[in-house]
């Protein structure tokens, strides 16, 4: 597996406050990396830095061998934000055709993306008429156009029912198995065991980096939530 993302001394300042504190990490192809931590710990800021839309970033951050935010990276990265990123007055297919033109992806990727997120039966539906979970899947389909090498997914399963969450995690695993690097943020600790690797985050810093089994062993805990709490207490000493 190759390193798709490499960061050294990564810092982010908002206003006069440093919110990301000198992070060193890498993200590998063929893996689902979970970025877990409570709301407000810096997950979204870090993901914005990865895709090159965050201001006041210092340190070194390369994606696919180029500085984060380079124009050449745009068609190679899929990014799903917490807010809906598609047009409510267009159909599913119309949205994806639009983003295909923006990204310069082949038109054949539209039907492939719709099939991947299981929206074939809704492809001609206007997005405003879809459920919240279905709209989330349209956003994911847009991120999949052109088979990106890196997928950055910011809390994509929040508010979804357990069945849909299960389906989406199956999709993430399939994408990683096909060779993509997938980074998924969440504040739901029970999603941790679905990941190959975890970055546990709190207050702009990492508490732990490793597989779920390694982190639980390090903290002598039976689950990631208890491991996280143990590591928080240890860091406070």
pTM, full prediction: 0.90
Whole-angstrom CA distances from 64 to 7, 67, 214 are 12, 8, 27
CA angle 130–157–2, rounded 5-degree value: 120
What is the structure's pLDDT at 89?
A: 96
What is the structure's pLDDT at 237?
A: 63
What is the structure's pLDDT at 171?
A: 86
pLDDT tens profile 170-199? 889 999 999 999 999 988 888 888 999 999
pLDDT tens profile 189-227? 888 889 999 999 999 999 999 999 999 999 999 999 899
Q: Are 180 and 205 in contact (CB under 8 A)?
A: no
Separation between Cα atoms, residue 52 and residue 63, nearest integer Å = 10
SS3 121: helix
């Amino acid at each position: 597996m190759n390193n798709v993302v490499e960061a050294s001394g990564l810092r982010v300042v908002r206003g006069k406050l440093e919110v990301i504190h000198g992070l060193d990490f890498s993200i590998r192809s063929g893996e689902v990396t979970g970025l877990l931590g409570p709301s407000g710990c810096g997950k979204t800021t870090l993901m914005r830095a990865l895709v090159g839309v965050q201001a006041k970033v210092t340190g070194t951050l390369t994606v696919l061998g180029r500085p984060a935010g380079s124009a050449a990276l745009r068609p190679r990265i899929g990014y799903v934000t917490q807010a809906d990123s598609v047009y409510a007055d267009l159909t599913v297919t119309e949205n994806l055709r639009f983003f295909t033109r923006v990204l310069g992806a082949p038109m054949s990727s539209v039907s492939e993306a719709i099939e991947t997120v299981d929206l074939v039966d809704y492809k001609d539906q206007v997005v405003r008429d879809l459920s919240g979970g279905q709209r989330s899947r349209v956003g994911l389909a847009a991120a999949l156009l052109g088979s990106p090498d890196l997928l950055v997914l910011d809390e994509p399963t929040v508010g979804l029912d357990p069945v849909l969450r299960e389906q989406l995690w199956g999709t993430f695993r399939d994408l990683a198995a096909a060779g993509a690097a997938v980074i998924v943020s969440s504040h739901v600790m029970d999603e941790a065991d679905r990941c190959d690797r975890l970055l546990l985050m709190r207050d702009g810093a990492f508490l732990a980096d490793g597989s779920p089994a390694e982190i639980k062993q390090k903290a002598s805990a039976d689950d990631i939530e208890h491991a996280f709490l143990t590591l928080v207490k240890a860091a406070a000493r």
